[in-house]
A and B are shown apart, each in its own frame.
Chain A
Amino acid sequence: MSHPIKAQEFLSDPAKAKWHDETLWFVRDKRDAITKTIPEWEQLRDLASQIKDNVLANLDSYLVEFEQKAKANNIHVHWAVDSEEHNQIVLGILRQHDCKAIVKSKSILTEECHLNPFLEKNGVEVVDTDLGERIVQFLNQPPSHIVLPAIHLKKRDISEIFHEKLQTEKGNEDPTYLTQAARVHLREKFLSAKVAITGVNFGIAETGEFVVCTNEGNADMGVHLADVHIACMGIEKIIPRRKNLGVFLRILARSATGQPVTNYNSHFRSPAPGKEIHIILVDNGRTDQLAREKFKNSLKCIRCGACMNTCPIYRRSGGFSYGSVVPGPIGSILSPGLDLKKYSSLPFASTLCGSCSDVCPVKINIHEQLYEWRQEITKAQGSNAKSISMKIANGIFSTPFAYKISGEMLRGALKILPEAITYSGLNTWGKQRDLPEVPKESFKDWYKKNRK
């Protein structure tokens, strides 16, 4: 299903959509405020970008160095070309340890590999332990944001599902009360799990260690109580030297939520006595993306989510409208590389305002890549409407396909929103304007009729 149609669904609850928009903007504001307290902020972004460029230019040798060091530290290193192999490796380790229930902290990679349904099909209970992820797991939903997984939900939704699953008081929506209930519930899971899975924020070639950052402490609660720690890492998460962490830990949390650093930043170098650490290095399309000169920079992403918080389309259409594991601007340049047809509407889910590139801590040229994908998609579709695009003097919608779907989106949104609402969910260009009347036919249809 294309982005504009799903965006309409999101906009069918205008109050919630407005809250979503404003809340993410508030996070963006916090990011701005804290970056202004660091005089060298822009220099840090340059450094982070250059370090990542160096990583992409030497990825093979850094991976080999990482593997060698990690093995010397008694870490088991596995390689997976795709999600299927990744999932099989995880299952193999679980079977070896006769493990039927695991705890898992936030890992977008395991979402990408659809690990949970795979393990469940194979008789393993998976408990996501990040609070936001546990909430969406209860609801059988994927996360709608890579840093704020449950940002599409209101506390009344969470209160309802907790009442059902955790027997909390009906109607009690107090976040402290609900969090406490989750704490008690998850504590029991932590204490009984034999295997814990985490993602990886950074893998360090020089030392073979890897770093996991959380605020809740859930990754650590899991792994330090379990006998076996499985860390799932995309191959692009490598950085060369330990001291590079100084740069990345300064920019990650500030960009993500506007806080100076995450409260727990754990460096795993070798297992505790009697325990095991496995790391799985996963390709799953990354080497293909690396080979695409125009798009390889998307692999520099450190998954901070800042481009989502700032994006006028993401804020007003919600993470699910993208239909991809990573939503928002970065998702819209990563996903077409995985399946061009399925994700063909995503590069058009943008105004090309460039705000994403402005906030990106590793300086990915996100909006330029969105534009590049539009060209690729239009080419792939063998556009016969090229002449139209040349005649539409509109710098924002630069291809006919984009024009068509954006128009659909706008007309759809205008239809569902009551006229009296001055807040127009998709009126990106001026919140307080009155809603324009919905044209009965699109310009494109009109043009088709009248061009002769």
Chain B
Amino acid sequence: MSSREQILGKIKRVAKADSPLPDIPDFEFSGEIKERFVKSIQGNKGEVIDVAGLEVFLKSNGFSKIISLAKGLEQLSTRTLPENPHELADLEVAIIQGQFGVAENGSIWLTDADLGLRALPFITEHLVIVLSEASLVSNMHEAYKRIGEQHSGFGLFIAGPSKTADIEQSLVIGAHGAKSLRVVLD
């Protein structure tokens, strides 16, 4: 007997009372969605800026290795997306378009279609996500409603920069992935 059959057989032999799958109600959201989203991002140690702020960020740091996939901001790229993600190792800034944001926790939904390469938002030193204000939803239930039946090989909620508190619970930003997250809300 295969392991599969063995495991499934053992589960089947256990007498189990039925237990219905509950419906998930619509939970009310009090407060202003945009304000809450901005607060959430800040709480996660990200920053919310506008397009002018983005230009200042890029210029003042003199970044020269930039890939921008965000709609209307493609001209900010200084290089094209490679085929091999290892070639992203020295990337300074990735600018991508987010599909929607979630007010309660600052999560932003991205899929293969937005990322170009799955490694992009992780391997880059700094991450910028462009998001339309109209895309914001209140909570994670609304978020999954919005995702619905969408079929992507990879989907991702990003809510902040890479962080850790594994050394004496001291928060450090920039563990393995992006050292900063900026959200351009327009």
| Interface contact tally, CB-CB below 8 A | 236
From B49-57, B70-78, B160-168, give the one contacting chain A: B160-168
Residues of chain A at interface, number, CB under 8 A = 89
Is A350's CB within 8 Å of the partner chain B?
A: no
A265 to chain B, nearest CB (A): 4
B164 to chain A, nearest CB (A): 5
Is A131's CB within 8 Å of the partner chain B?
A: yes
Q: Of B7, B25, B156, which contacts A81 at CB under 8 A?
A: B7
Is A242's CB within 8 Å of the partner chain B?
A: yes
Is B104's CB within 8 Å of the partner chain A?
A: yes
Q: What separation, in Å, do the CA atoms of A57 and B106 have in the docked complex?
A: 34
B123 to chain A, nearest CB (A): 7
Q: What separation, in Å, do the CA atoms of A270 and B7 have in the docked complex?
A: 25
The answer to whether A269 touches B169 (Cβ under 8 A) is no
The answer to whether B8 touches A64 (Cβ under 8 A) is yes
Q: Of A59, A266, A272, which contacts B11 at CB under 8 A?
A: A59
* Chain A contacts for B107, CB-based, 8 A: 261, 265
Task: Assess A259 versus B6: contact at CB under 8 Å? Given A246-B24, A246-B141.
Answer: no
* Chain A contacts for B165, CB-based, 8 A: 148, 257
Q: What separation, in Å, do the CA atoms of A23 and B166 have in the docked complex?
A: 12
Q: What separation, in Å, do the CA atoms of A422 and B84 have in the docked complex?
A: 61
Secondary structure type dominating chain B contacts? loop
The answer to whether B11 touches A27 (Cβ under 8 A) is no
Q: Of B2, B13, B104, B169, which contacts A26 at CB under 8 A?
A: B169
Q: Interface centre among A23, A59, A135, A265, by most B CB within 10 Å?
A: A265
Q: Interface centre among A67, A155, A220, by most B CB within 10 Å?
A: A220
* Chain A contacts for B113, CB-based, 8 A: none
A-B contact pairs, 30 of them (CB 8 A): A23-B168, A27-B169, A40-B27, A57-B16, A57-B17, A58-B16, A59-B11, A79-B3, A85-B3, A129-B176, A131-B164, A148-B165, A176-B170, A183-B175, A215-B163, A216-B177, A218-B175, A218-B176, A221-B123, A225-B86, A240-B21, A261-B44, A263-B160, A265-B156, A265-B157, A270-B153, A272-B118, A272-B153, A283-B7, A287-B7
Starting from the known contacts A54-B21, A187-B89, A290-B10, 17 additional A-B residue pairs (CB-CB under 8 Å) come to: A39-B27, A39-B30, A73-B153, A132-B166, A135-B166, A151-B169, A158-B168, A176-B170, A183-B175, A190-B176, A209-B155, A217-B175, A220-B177, A243-B24, A250-B140, A264-B122, A272-B118
Which residues from chain A sit less than 8 Å from chain B, CB to CB?
A: 23, 26-27, 39-40, 43, 46-47, 50-51, 53-54, 56-60, 63-64, 67, 73, 79-81, 85, 129-132, 135, 148-151, 154-155, 158, 175-176, 178-180, 182-183, 186-187, 190-191, 209, 215-218, 220-221, 224-225, 235, 240-247, 249-250, 257, 259-272, 281, 283, 287-288, 290-291
